[in-house]
Amino acid sequence: MNSRVGVTGKTRICPHCKTTILESARVCPGCHHHLRFDAQANIESRTQPTFSALRVEGEFRNPPGVESCEYSVVVSIRNDRGEEVARKVVGVGALDARESRTVTLSVDVFTPGGVRPRTAN
Ligand SMILES: [Zn+2]
């Protein structure tokens, strides 16, 4: 039987940080640890084209005149019908009057099987 994985979107748990990640990931996007693979998967992951579909970055700080505030950073994913398929609080904390935080959201896209996506030029 051919055991080559043909399922797109298959996930597994990162052994280092316990985040749910793509089975095809060579490096955990959460903790940046390299992950062990069998030889075939390793070859596939090396030839896997990757591009960044989205990257948004922003800084926030306390409103003027406020001594301290609390914040929560929430990421949600909706499908093309507007239904929420994932929602996660990725971090909470507090800021004093002089502190700020920068939040970066990035989406990396893979094409399993090594098919390079067409780029608009
Ligand atoms: Zn990890």
Whether pLDDT at 2 is above 50: no
- Measure 90 CA to ligand 1 centroid, in angstroms: 14
- Measure 14 CA to ligand 1 centroid, in angstroms: 5
Span 20-79, pLDDT tens digits: 988 888 888 889 888 865 555 555 555 556 788 899 999 999 888 888 999 999 999 999
- Measure 120 CA to ligand 1 centroid, in angstroms: 33
Q: Round to whole Å and give the CA distance between 78 and 85.
A: 5
How sure is the predictor about 100, in pLDDT bands with cuts at 50, 70 and 90? very high
Where would I find the H helices in the chain? 39-46
- Measure 22 CA to ligand 1 centroid, in angstroms: 11
Q: What is the pLDDT of residue 72?
A: 95
The two most distant CA atoms of the chain are separated, in Å, by 68
Q: Among residues 54, 19, 43, 114, which one has the least CA distance to residue 11?
A: 19
Average pLDDT in the 3-10 region?
A: 63
Q: What is the pLDDT of residue 79?
A: 96
DSSP 116: P
CA-based angle 55:57:58, to the nearest 5?
160
- Measure 32 CA to ligand 1 centroid, in angstroms: 6
